[in-house]
Amino acid sequence: MIVRIRFRRGTNVARRSARTSRAALVLSTFGTLAAISCATFGIWRLGQDLGWAGDFVFSSGLLSHWQVWLTAAGALQYGSWRLARFGRSVQARQMGKATASGAAEHIQAAVNS
């Protein structure tokens, strides 16, 4: 005896994945812009230490060191790279599923006719 339990259809996961991938790509873009800003501050501070640039915005404290700014720029850029990679992989999987489902429908239509 075989008992089959059927559940009603749940939420559409592909739609959520599409939103997630778009959000990851947008955050990746903003993260890259933030990394460029941090790198600019780091180079400005390094230039001030070498006597090539004018006064830096932060004269004392943690944010007055060029190492902090360049480390933050590197961390932000790495995070942006990972987010972009995630967003592109989700989109590629969705394109593969769409292509596979389209091919399956085409084959099913050919079999039925």
Q: What is the pLDDT of residues 39-71, one digit of tens each?
A: 999 999 999 999 999 999 999 999 999 999 999
Say yes or no to pLDDT of 95 above 80. Answer: no
Which of the two residues, 94 and 75, has the higher pLDDT score?
A: 75
CA–CA distance, 78 with 73 (Å, rounded to integer): 9
Say yes or no to pLDDT of 108 above 60. Answer: no
Q: Which among 10, 1, 28, 44 is positioned nearest to 84, based on CA atoms?
A: 28
pLDDT band at 24; cut points 50, 70, 90: very high
pTM: 0.70
Q: Where are the domains of the chain?
A: 15-107
Say yes or no to pLDDT of 102 above 60. Answer: no
Beta carbons of 89 and 83 less than 8 angstroms apart: no
